[in-house]
Amino acid sequence: MSEGLLNVALVQYAPLATSGANLAALSEIVAGATSQGAQIVVAPEYSQAFLPDQYEAWGNLAEGADGEFVTGLAEISAAHDGVIIVAGMLRRRENSLPTNTIVAVGRQGVLAETDKIHLYDAFGHTESSFVAPGTIAEPRLLDIGGHRLGFLACYDLRFPEVTRRLVDAGATALVIPAQWVPGEHKLSHWQALLKARAIESQCYVLAAGQPAPHGVGYSTVIDPWGVVLDELGPDGGVLHGQLDASVVSAVREINPVSLARRFDIREKL
């Protein structure tokens, strides 16, 4: 494959209740995706364990970075030439609620991770009742195939400063596992925000969501111009795409918005 090209697969998947059940399902999905050339496979938010409407039980499902889920993903990666698997999980933290964490896992284990910063206390939901917000830390990016991947989870999409920090750290692609809850205007928000983040960040956007009924679906690959290269509908499936680093370079050269910026991002006190 030419330098700067990266084959990706987005999994629009309805997670099950336990790590074991999800690992069994993801193992089959990853096998199919890698047989079609995928170098990175992105699964949705909460792919480690998902109990809709049973939030009080979710804390018991959290695991550490050495737990069954991450260990299982590393084994799946090793079985498929080191493919990178990105997925959402409930990450156990000492003396605290778990965090909603996105992990990128290879055969060696966790290569990059990020905790959800803004919790979904909106539209009648209270994610903060069972999840702790992530701390503000230097972004961990993942270099692969001539690209630098930055990660964010679901509701963080609504906050452009999250993606701006990733771009300032060097990201050329934004990876967004989500469980974008359905509702009035929610699909249009999802699609508009994904395109906006691609355009303003001049990055590829890889958004993998849960299908109906617990997500809106419409996983998508968007290029740095804001062009939707391909997307799914509301139902489950796997979406394949290819990223080209030269497109990022060209967009940023033609329209050097980062050089024109006059504002920085800082943490709210």
Which positions are annotated as active-site residues?
A: 45, 116, 154
Largest CA distance in the chain: 51
In the chain, the DSSP E strands lie at 5-12, 40-42, 84-91, 99-106, 109-115, 142-144, 147-151, 173-178, 204-209, 220-222, 228-231, 237-244
Query: What's the token pair of residue 192?
Result: 């508009």
**DSSP label of 214:** T
Q: Is 171 exposed, middle or buried (0-12, 13-18, 19+ CB in 10 A)?
A: buried
Query: What's the token pair of residue 61?
Result: 């499902």
- How many CB atoms sit inside 10 A of residue 131's CB? 24
Q: From residue 115, how far is each of 100, 150, 193 by CA, in Å? A: 6, 12, 20
Query: What's the token pair of residue 17?
Result: 């209740």
